Structure 1
Amino acid sequence: MIEIDPLMGLRMINDGSVSLLSTRREGKTNVSTVSWQMPLSQDPPMLGISLTPSCLSNELLRESGEFVLSIPDASLIAETHYCGTHRGDSEDKVRSMQFRTMRARKVIPLLVTNCIGHLECAVRDVYPFGDRLFYASRVVAALVEEDYFDNGWNENAQTLHHLGGDRYKTGGGILDAKKWPLPQQMPNLPPLF
């Protein structure tokens, strides 16, 4: 695992993949699945996540102000789905899912090292939106398994994408837009404006 620039780390969520959210307070760690996350800013590098107010992760996050987004690959589909459909109040999901963890570089929550990438984040603002809370957060550190990342996910990375319910898909092949020709410009057309 290598550390990369937090701005480059935002590319880990550009594809809309599912993340595992790790929160921690006073030795209590919870891991839940997050499908609604997005980059917000490049300078400083920031992202946003949307959470249900009643979940344990929300409680721990509001108290600690820090979290880790870990990016699972397809090998963790069962664990990822379980963490998104079961509450952490009554069980230790880290133990029951047999996740391997390690200390983060700059925040208190743990990294789920079974995953292929990690974004360590500090909350800047929280906004209520409908039935959700939206956390605008600064990325303070980013780590990635280098076999899966070349300035973005490469062909080895089979990130998960939640389609709703029990259905997920993995990323397909990677297309390089510069290798695709543009349509020929039509000659002698009048300008549109």
Structure 2
Amino acid sequence: MHALIVVAHPDPKSLTHSVADHIAEGASTFGNTFEIADIAAEGFDPRFSAADIALFRREAPPSADVAAEQARIDRADALVLVYPVYWWSMPGLLKGWIDRVFANGWAYDEGPDTKLVKKLQHLRVHLVAIGGADLRTYARHGYFGAMRTQIDHGIFDYCGARVVTSELLVPPETQDLRSHLDAARVIGRNLFNRLERREATEAA
């Protein structure tokens, strides 16, 4: 099985990148393959342009960069997004990647005279957010619930993709970040185990 791990952070030495690397390490434990898409280093343009509007209206084919990202997702059995929490959401770079790549006609079909058709029902999604506040702050203000409503439901459920993991890693009480990296490795090992268990349960 193959995982596409998308990481959105401009600093390759960041904790976000380390978490992505450890997820990849865990995913490869049982012979699975992975690709890490460092969309900051790759220079992906997150700006929603006139070409993207034309694609949304079904007036033009996807641009080359969007088509390439869609092909990467099509090759994957699981999509993993690893990102820092900026202003209680994902970074603009990652949101722009979703805005452009999860396009009408590929992620879903919708028009003025047609009902919504969800086209990513085969895709399993794992979300790993790196937070800068403690859990009490997220709980007190309802931030994590709001993030799940916006991202898990508002984006992926709309396209039919199933969010299998929705994880928030917050700063540990000590300065030792090994707990984050250990958790990331476990997430990677369980990417396809969870998928197989869930499908077996549904088939029973």
Q: TM-score, normalised by structure 2?
A: 0.23
Larger Cα-atom Rg? 1
Tell me which protein shows more helix as a share of its residues: 2
Q: TM-score, normalised by structure 1?
A: 0.23
